[in-house]
Structures are given as structure tokens and as C-alpha cells.
Amino acid sequence: MPSVFETSPNAIPITFVTKSSWDQVAETLPPAQRQFATASGFTAKPGGYQALPAPDGAIAQVLFGLEDESARSRDLFRPGALPGLLPSGIYRFANAPHDTRLAALAFALGCYRFARYRKADRPNVRLVPPDSVDAAEISRIADAAMLARDLINTPSNDMGPEELAAVAQELASEFGASFACTIGEDLETNFPLIHAVGMASDRAPRLIDIGWGDPTHPKVTLVGKGVCFDTGGLDLKPSSGMLIMKKDMGGAANVLALARMVMDAELKVRLRVLIPAVENAVAGNAFRPLDVFTSRKGITVEIGNTDAEGRLVLADALALADEEKPDLLIDLGTLTGAARVALGPDLPPFYTNDETLAADVARCAAKENDPLWRMPLWPPYDAWLDSKTATITNAPSGGFAGSIICALFLQRFVEHANSWLHVDIYGWTPSAKPARPEGGECQAARAIYTLLSERYA
């Protein structure tokens, strides 16, 4: 993607105002501009936009409304609405918004358009990077976020396991990383859960494996759920539940975005990326309720529900990752409706027993405006996974604590990693917000990248 940043001595200033500062700002305007703003009904409400004319008819400056400091909540990505409002041109911040770095990132993210299947011109606007902002770092993050959005937004007929693997291979090649892929029947012996979930589709399942970095550096392993479409299997979803299941590979998309940031920034880690890429389909050979499979780790798993497939494919991948005893093991997946019931689409829960890691994740999430909320790995609920037939079930009966139960299930497959972080993302913006168009979304990756940058820069 072309950079949103460009230098120019003639950049048009953007002045940020709030309702409480508007009167003071208005007094500094030339009388004609002040009168024009008043006649246009500009009130400095959050998201309010007004272009002010110069005597020659050009745009002299732009006014843009933000929340007052005393507002109950402030959208630090509010400036991300500007690319959709501004006429073509080069702009600069004339004064500081609430957070200049996040405003610049929001501006970049607000330029995103998904244009694979129809013409959707990207806004022809550029921003002079503020003096306090690392433009290269902002571009790195924005480019990776847009990769995640593109992958999630691409429908499943063009983004199956093979296509997802091709994107991962291209990313590995770009940064000189190793790439390997275990496909189809070759999964059955060593990755039986991944094979079971994907075997009903005529698009072969696969386990994508990327390696990058100096082997002497700390091992960081990322695991992303790559269910390229989820019918629910024999426990079939209703049509409304299937409607946006192209996004069920959102964990993989965000892991690839995170890996791109890490490799582009050349963080001092030994990075491994594992993505079980499957399609949960319906056919005569589909895995069934109450089937039992022996996982890679040796744990036998009874299938309580074929629509709880994400945790199954992650389990085998986590077991493989755990064998290397990584310093930090992170998995991301679009896993449970229970997480959305509890916290909604914008606030993914995360799980870890590492108190230092938990505090760092929460702090980085707030710093990056990439919200996450810690939920407990509640030990008394672990017994709910018990099965009368196998070691554990993937979906206990009853609807309580669904996201916690999923996390506890995955925890059974992590034994040797020094620290483990699990994030139950949604990967989708249901209705457009500044810098966040409706559709696929990059969640958790920016916060985790900041954490990794702090630890391994």
C-alpha cells in the first residue's frame, strides 16, 4: 500500500477543536472564516467537519471536532474519519489532538478500502507526519492491519486453506523466513484433530509453519486459527450464523499481520508462526458428535459439538508449539459467541496465568487503543471438560462460561511454554467507526506487537 505520509510546505492545516475550546479557536480565525464557520452551523461536536475557504477559493484550513477532555469516553481514533471527509490534498495537524501518534495511525487506517471485487478508490489524501511521530512505524502497523482486513474480507471461495497458505508463503519469502506446509492425509498421524476438522472438505486441510529470526534469540511462537469457512459441521449453523463465517480465519489473519510487524521491525526474537488452515464442511466423511480422536499431545478428545472446531485445530498446533518450550506462546482465534455476549465485538477477552504478562498486555492494549480485557482461567470450571468416554470433551453441555471453557480446553495442550497468552477475538467491525470500516478487523495484533517491541526491540 502506498504510504499515507508525505511532506509538503503547503500542506493544509487541520485544527482540532472541542466544544469547550471552540470559542477561543474561533477568535483566532480571520473574520471571513469565522463568519463562514458560523453560517455553516459548525459547533465542534465530535466528528464535526468544516473546510474554511481562503480568499482565492482554495481551502485555507480544516476544523475537526473532538470530544472534550471531560467526556465520559473519547474515541482516540476519531481523526480516522478525516480521510473520508477531506478533499484530495496534503494535510498537516495544526495542533495536537488527544493523542497525536494514535491520530496519525487512525488517519492511515481510515484510508483503507477493500477493492478486490469492485472499484473503491482509496482517498487521495496525504498527511505530513507530525514531528513527534515515527512515520515508518505507523506505516508498518497500518500496512499489517490492512493485510489482516484484506484477508478477512476476502470471501471463502477465494480464501481457502490453499490460498491462505499462499499468502503465508509470500510473506515468509518477503522477509527471508522458512516456510513449510503439511497437507491433507499427511496430517492424520501427527495432527489428528486438524485432519478431523478439515477432512470433509474437498479443499485439503493444512498446517502452515513459518520460522524467522536468529535461533539464539528468545523463542516467540504465534498460533492462529485458520478456519477459512465454518458451516458448523454436522452440528450445522443456521444460515444467519454462517453469513460472515469467511471471517473465521481472523485469528490466522491477525497472526500474519503481527508476524509482518515483527519481521519488518526486525525484533530480536526467534519467531515461529503456526496456522492450522481448514474448512469445516459437511459431507459423508465429516467428523461426528461423540466421535473420539487422540490429539497430537496424546489427550483423547470427545466431540461434544462439531461447531466447536476452532479449539480442536488450535489444540494440535499448540501442542506442536509447546514442544519447543517457547519463551512466549500466543494464540489468536475467532472462537466463541460467549465472548461476544460478555464483552461485545470490540473488546476481546484474553487469558493467561502470567501476572506480569497480563499487566503488560492490558497496558499495551490501552496505549494502542486496541482494547483487550482479561478473563480468568477459572480452575473450578476445568472439571466441566471431563468426559465419560475420553480424557476431555471439546464442548460440555450447558451454555455457561463458554469463552472460559474454551480457554481451559486449550490450556490442556500447553505445558512447557514459559508464558502463554490466549485471545478470543471477533475479527470484525459490525458497523463502521472512525478508522474502522465495516468488515474484517485487526484485533489484538497491535497491542501484542507493542508488547513484543518493548521486550525484544
Question: Would you list the domain boundaries of the chain?
Answer: 12-133, 148-456
- Inform me whether the pLDDT recorded for 318 exceeds 90: yes
- Inform me whether the pLDDT recorded for 2 exceeds 90: no
- What's the rounded Cα separation, in Å, for the pair 42 and 63? 9
Tell me the mean pLDDT in the region 174-185.
98
What are the DSSP E strand ranges found in 66-151?
A: 89-93, 125-127
Confidence bin at 1 (pLDDT 50/70/90): low
Tell me the mean pLDDT in the region 389-401.
95
- Inform me whether the pLDDT recorded for 120 exceeds 80: no
- 229 bridge partner residues: 279
Q: For 28-53, what is each residue's pLDDT tens digit?
A: 999 999 999 999 999 999 999 999 99
Cβ atoms of 453 and 379 closer than 8 Å: no
Tell me the mean pLDDT in the region 142-171.
98
Q: For 181-230, what is each residue's pLDDT tens digit?
A: 999 999 999 999 999 999 999 999 999 999 999 999 999 999 999 999 99
- What's the rounded Cα separation, in Å, for the pair 184 and 154? 23
Alpha helix stretches (DSSP H) within 208-249: 239-242
Confidence bin at 172 (pLDDT 50/70/90): very high
Cβ atoms of 404 and 396 closer than 8 Å: no
Percent of the chain beyond pLDDT 70? 100
Residue 279 pLDDT:
98
Q: Any idea which fold 148-456 has?
A: Aminopeptidase (3.40.630)
- What's the rounded Cα separation, in Å, for the pair 26 and 152? 44
pTM over 0.85: yes
More confident residue, 398 or 105: 105
- Inform me whether the pLDDT recorded for 69 exceeds 90: no
The domain made up of 12-133 is a member of CATH 3.40.220.10: yes
Q: For 231-284, what is each residue's pLDDT tens digit?
A: 999 999 999 999 999 999 999 999 999 999 999 999 999 999 999 999 999 999
Q: What amino acid positions are annotated as catalytic residues?
A: 237, 311
